[in-house]
Copies of this chain bind each other. A is one copy, B any other.
Amino acid sequence: MSILKEKEKLSTRDKILETAIELFANKGFSGTTTKEIADEASVNEALIFRHFSTKSDLYAAIIEKKIQEEPDMLIPLKKFNETGDDREVFKSLAIRIFENCGADTTFLRLLHFSALEGHELSEMFFDTYVDYVNMLLFDYIQTRIKDGAFKDIDPLLSAKAFIGMVINFIIVQELFGQKKRKKANTNKVVETFVTLFLEGIKK
């Protein structure tokens, strides 16, 4: 396995972390045992507790790591002011979200498990991603309303509407998605959502 080969190069601590990320994302916190993590990482179980004092600490370290990783999902939003093309802005945002959440379910599953299982860092996790995207898009929409390009509609709700269309589509496909269900053409989905939204909000 290429994954194993990569892991052999990693430090013990990182082997534990990477394996734990996979397992916690797949089975949640209480569904994952420390023995399982150790076996999967080919590491003695006691080493987990040498690096992280408790199982909860390991979980917290994982979420903190995910929080600190600059989510490049947010990059296109920072270039908002540079372009005047609404369609391009919303398209690139949607595509970024698809690439970030759709390609690998680990992130989405981790985020959902942490919320459902009520982890203390779940709130921060959520704020870093979902809330932050909402605020950036909120700013953009507000500006375009002031420009007179968009209708005088609640900018935060509009932002949530657009994000909701995209995110929920991905969640249904990736989190609830069955094997048999065929994946949709991302480009067509994005085009349709952006058209629908812009036709609805443009003056």
Interface residues on A, range: 35 or more
Interface residues of A in 114-149 (CB under 8 A from B): 115-117, 122-123, 126, 130
Q: Is B117 within 8 A of A157, CB to CB?
A: no
Residues of chain B contacted by A192 (CB below 8 angstroms): 153-154, 157-158, 161
User: How many chain copies does the complex carry?
Assistant: 2
Interface residues of A in 132-185 (CB under 8 A from B): 151, 153-154, 157-158, 160-161, 163-169, 171-172, 175-176, 178, 184
Give A22 Cβ to nearest chain B Cβ, in Å: 14
Closest residue of chain B to A29 (Cβ to Cβ) is B31
CA distance A126 to B168 in the complex (A): 14
Tell whether A67 is near chain B: CB-to-CB under 8 Å.
no
Interface residues of A in 78-136 (CB under 8 A from B): 109, 112-113, 115-117, 122-123, 126, 130
Residues of chain B contacted by A154 (CB below 8 angstroms): 188, 192
